[in-house]
Amino acid sequence: FFSISQIAIDNPDPKVTLIQYLRRNLYLTGTKEACSQGACGACTVMISYYNHHQKKIIHYSGNACLTLLCSLHGMAVTTVEGIGSTRNGLHPIQQSMMENHGVQCGFCTPGMVMTMYTVFRNNPEPTQEDMERALEGNLCRCTGYRPILESFKKSCPCGLGLCQQSAEEKKDLAEKTTVEKPTPEKYDKSQDVIFPSELQKSAELSQKNAMFVGGGYTWFRPISLDKLLELKKAFPKATIVMGSQTVVGSKIRNNALPSPEIICCTQVLELKRIVQGTSSISIGSAVTFAQMEEFLNGVLKDMKEKECNIFSALLEGLRWVGADQLRNVATFGGHLMSVGPHDLQTLMLAVGAELNFISAQKVEKKITYEKFMENGIHAPDSSDVLVSVCIPLTKQNEYILYTKQPFRRGMDYAIVNAGMLLKVDDKKGTIDTLRFCAGNIESKPCSLQKVSNLAKGRAFDDKLIPDACDVIIDELKGCKSDSLKYKISLVCGFFYKMYKQIVETIQSTKEKTEFGLTPSLSTGAQYYDVPNPEAKEIVWKPIPHAAAKSLASGEAVFIDDMPKYANELSMWFVTSTKAHAKILSIDPSAALAVPGVVDYVDYRDVPGSNMYGPMVHDIPLFAEKEVSFHGQPIAGIIAETREIARSAARLVKVEYEDLPLILTIDEAIEKNSLDEYVASHVSGDVDKGLAEAEMTLEGVIETGAQEHLYMEPISALVVPKREDKEMEVFVNTQESANCQKDVGHFLGIPFNRVSVRVKRVGGGFGGKALDTVEASGVAAVAAWKVNRPVRLIYTRSYDVKTTSKRHPFRAVYKAGYTKDGKVTALSIDLFANAGWNNGISTFVLELGMLAMEGTFDIPNYRGTGRTCLTNLPSNGAFRGFGAPQGTFIIHSIFYDIAKKTGLSFNKIREMNIYKEGDRNINGMVLKHFNLPICWEDCKTQSKFEEVSKEIEEFNSKNKYRKRGIAMSSCVFSIGYPFLFMCQAGALVNIYLDGSVLVTHGGIEMGQGLFTKMIQVAATVLEIPIEKVYISETSTVTVPNATETGGSFVADLNGGAVMNACQILKDRLQPLRDAMPEASWEQLVQAAYFSRISLSASGFYKSREIGYDPKKQGEGEYCLYNSYGAASTVVEIDCLTGEHQILRADIVFDVGKSLNPAIDVGQIEGGFVQGVGLMTTEKLTVNKSTGELTLYGPGNYKVPGIKNIPKEFNVTLLKDAKGERRPLYSSKGIGEPPLLLAASVHLALREAVNAARKDHGLSDNYQLECPATPEIIRMGCDGPIVKKVDGIKENNQSIKF
């Protein structure tokens, strides 16, 4: 059943996932496919079934990308389309998302909506903690989460508790309600998702054995253990499926199952039982984690002793396994039988659990979990089935604890986890038994027997701890694992925490040692001026995103949502498996023999030029003789479906001859693999300044790479028009004109035969600029060859592994300064890892250098920059374009100076900051230099001095928790240096009904550009905003558009829209003078009959003087500067390295905001993306192969809802003065706020240095960026870190 409509499928293919069926068979495209890893939540749907044993309807959220269609037999699925629409009325949740500005690019929005819809169906009054927990499985790369959470904060979104009620119940409830809230009459009946009565009345679908045959597989769904054993006897190699099909689904797609039979055990009643006895609890292997939690919470309510018992330990383990979407389907047995992240496996080993198997011959077998681990995590016999797990209950004087450290709090795997069982010897008052187990260090959890032997008979004192740590290190130091020092330090820290907690419980200690982070929930405030609602201007008002309704309802169309053409084909890449090698031969014969494969393409099929590039055409569309990075496209397979194309592409045989590999900046410098361009920025005499300085300091500061991880993968659909060589290109690009130009080059046709159309982009951040040329070009060549439409949708893994990243920087500096902190000279040698091709790296380097130079007045300065060429994907544009790295570097240098001098970090920066009227290094006179105002306002609003004292007191009282506070600022240049980029066009058409269609060259990718342009048009024409519409961006209507980036797109295109509208307004003015009482519609009609053109083309250019980086100080580098300041408070766990941001205060100068709500959203989203750069987002590369080790949100950790500031305050600078702000006195906003996240890293340095101070270390520790838990923990130092320092690392991967 899909939204109450019954669907019968003959011979369903067990390979088909729910998301494939929804999108391709039912054309329900609101459910988005963003990762296919179950790690982002964009595909969340509500799944419902009737439990005939409990006599109730069960609703749960699930990931459609992991759910195999066959597993839904007898169930109901509700998608975002089923709860509300723009035609019939939005559901209150959808409406709330729109009104509270929780929508930006909107690709994640349907998943967010369905997650919360399911929550409210199950619980009409959830707490904020419930809501935050539910959203842990949903990622958003745009908003920073705060407005999304704000949208859901009410206990029931409709305000009446209507979400669970039938239409009749709603009416009764409304009649009894006196509070003025939405009425049932306004609540459309179509928004009620009614559970199908057929499933409730009849048990036939859910309680009968089922078998499906299709796609080369046979799917069995038995309902009894007897039937399951019968099937296992008949098919001993059959694959057992429990709940979450992550591993099985992957094996099916890769044809890796041992046999074509699959047995789904989700309806086997004997496997779903939970039985609590007097000495143990038996949990069926098919019991889901969610069902376990529900049961255990119910049991725990009635227990007096909740600390340190098995139920608390189990709940702690369950709480942090995946997210609700996974916990709802993942089963206990499936988890314990897997070889993935250990989590509860470690706890089962610690408590001495017992596994109950039964053979196909019905012979029962009991095996301890320890023995099971020793046997290699598989059943005693291939035909055996795990029935249940027997977990001993906590006995008197027994204590059990479990803990885990993830890369980020929220949905994540464990870096390391541990479980401890301690039994007291009553007579002696000593330790009788201590079992301590650790997981995720090797392929299976390990029980540290030497620790147990050491602890037996010991007294309950702290003397055991250092001895135990020594033994732990001795037992684990030989393990083959990356980050071994850190992992062993975690195990030691876990032992310390658990042992202390248990001992303090035994001894009834009143003041217990505080471990971990302070629990807190998210809150925030936004401050900005709102104009008089009666004012005629539409600009300056916080109106919702223009497409919010369509995005929230799932109706908004992205590339892969477009209906399939009748003769459409799909394609996929043949990619390099080497990072640097010569291509010796290519053999596609095996791929071409696969049924459904249509053709093969490579460089020989490109009718025009095979080369492209932003400045120099030196990037091959298809590699020809040599590959330069792992995953580089060599060829393509064209097939009937994307699955066939992807599978067949792996069959193409490519032979290589290896060439030398360069991966790091160090290697590039050593081997002189540097681009010939040298950036040079000089002011004063640096050598003299350094020689005469009272004090000098040298250092090295580095930043890492960052993946864009936009929610919508790169996508292209190219349609040959069959006439005059026309090609229609649908691509989610930020560069429509460049895609048009390059497709023309590839195909050897005039640009006017190529039309590029972009409706919207599901997040870009710079990553959908140059990278989309590859996608549109390859698809165009394929479409040209077969003369049929071709669709190319990147997989998340390919997107992450092969597309551009933020450039890693290394700055080698020497600073000269006075004793009171005035910096008199600074020399910086900057290196950027460009990847295999220089591309736009020179420009990123230049802007990074200018960011280092834009805030502080240093009389003697020299900056030189070089780009390093390595065998990694070519790095490119990313929000901030080098400025985040430059800002981080310069503030880190001043931090080093502050620590060296012992002076206040804030005062040193305040002493050196530019002043009004100063001339900066590129020759710009700083008029209306609002940075000091932002800084002082931020310092005041954050109560910086007061909070600093509170933190100092907190740190003095807490040994294992430390806090830090720091401020940072940013100066960001708005307006491209090159004049040819500072232009834009627009076309505005007025139709006879008075409606207005606006077209311009900017791309809507979540930043609210279309909304702002509509506001501009409505304001100039003095008409209601509802009259104005923007459909898409197209090279047909506006040619030669400048790329959407640089935070300048609203200025440029807004100027063009304003110009076009003003032309129309001037044309209509004589009629307005003659007809002062006429309505807008009457005015338009009169113009038509007077033969006045109702169409106008607008044009805008921002300034007349450009800038040449080679001629420093001459010309105008930009139009104006954007300014901001942030203050951040963090807290760290000194034993694990985990951190949280307790508070962030931001003050930003956006001029007079065109739309305050949108601009606040950009500030919050940019800052949180910067938080990822500073903390969780670490990219690594296999040092042997050059392949990125990360494949998507499953193991690349962007911030989730648990990682945003707990208190998040944003203020738009009031009465911001300025000039050269032509678009209603506003300023660009998209990129600059990301720079302020440097304050997070600086605050973490403060916290780490506070921890080091406790250990007698007064040095200024150079905290690596990103500051992952490993970096923070090892930076805190202490006895444990010193003990592990001698361990030899076995790292197979290196930082990108």
DSSP 1071-1097: HHHH-TT--HHHHHHHHHHTT---EEE
Give the C-alpha separation, 794 to 774, whole Å: 11
Residues 643 and 637 sit within 8 Å (Cβ to Cβ): no
Q: Identify which of 939, 1004, 898 has the alpha carbon closest to the alpha carbon of residue 1245.
A: 898
Angle at 919 between CA 918 and CA 922, to 5 degrees: 155
Distance (Å, whole) CA 183 – CA 661: 67
Distance separating alpha carbons of residues 643 and 647, to the nearest angstrom: 6
SS3 363: coil
Q: Which two tokens stand for residue 562?
A: 């477009």
Return the biggest CA–CA distance within the chain: 106
What does the block give as tokens for 645? 């194309």
889 beta partners = none
**Residues paired with 1268 in a beta bridge:** none
* Phi (first) and psi of residue 29, to 5 degrees: -95, 5
- Type of residue at 644: I
Contact assessment for residue 113 and residue 42, using Cβ atoms and an 8 Å cutoff: no
Question: How many Å from the N-terminal Cα to the C-terminal Cα in the chain?
Answer: 47
What are residue 1177's phi and psi, to 5 degrees? -90, 90
- Tokens read off for 1084: 């338009």
Q: Which of 475, 1231, 1264, 1270 is catalytic?
A: 1231
Amino acid identity, position 286? A
Other beta carbons within 10 angstroms of residue 1024's beta carbon come to 11
What number of other Cβ atoms are within 10 A of residue 658's Cβ? 10
The beta strand positions in 122-271, using DSSP E, are 210-214, 217-221, 239-241, 261-264
Q: What angle do CA 223, 228, 230 make, to 5 degrees?
A: 130
1231 as an active site residue: the answer is yes
| Three-class DSSP category at 1223 | coil
Q: How far apart are CA 880 and CA 182, in angstroms?
A: 43
How many other C-beta atoms can be found within 10 angstroms of the C-beta atom of residue 1007? 32
| Count of beta carbons in the 10 Å neighbourhood of residue 1053 | 32
Pull the structure tokens for residue 671.
């081997």
What is the C-alpha separation between 1042 and 1035, in angstroms, rounded? 11
The span from the CA of 394 to the CA of 524, in Å, is 42
Bridge partners for 758 per DSSP = 1033
Quote the CA–CA distance of 254 and 300 in Å, as a whole number: 43
Token pair belonging to 829: 């040698």
Is 805:841 a contact under the CB 8 Å cutoff?
no
In whole angstroms, give the CA distance from residue 1228 to residue 1047.
Answer: 5
Q: What are the CB-based long-range contacts (under 8 Å, 24+) for 816-820?
A: 816/689, 816/690, 816/692, 816/693, 816/694, 816/695, 816/696, 816/860, 817/693, 817/694, 817/695, 817/696, 817/697, 817/897, 817/901, 818/693, 818/694, 818/695, 819/694, 819/695, 819/901, 820/901, 820/903, 820/911
Assess whether the previous peptide bond of 563 is cis (omega < 30° from 0).
Answer: no
Instruction: Count the neighbouring beta carbons within 10 Å of the beta carbon of residue 660.
Output: 9
Q: What are 825's strand-pairing partners?
A: 816, 860
Q: Which residues pair with 986 in a beta bridge?
A: 1000, 1098
Do residues 930 and 1217 lie in contact, with contact meaning Cβ atoms separated by under 8 Å?
yes
Residue 495 CA, distance from chain mean position: 33
Q: Given phi > 0 = left and psi -120 to 50 = alpha, else beta, which region is 923?
A: left
Catalytic annotation, residues: 1231
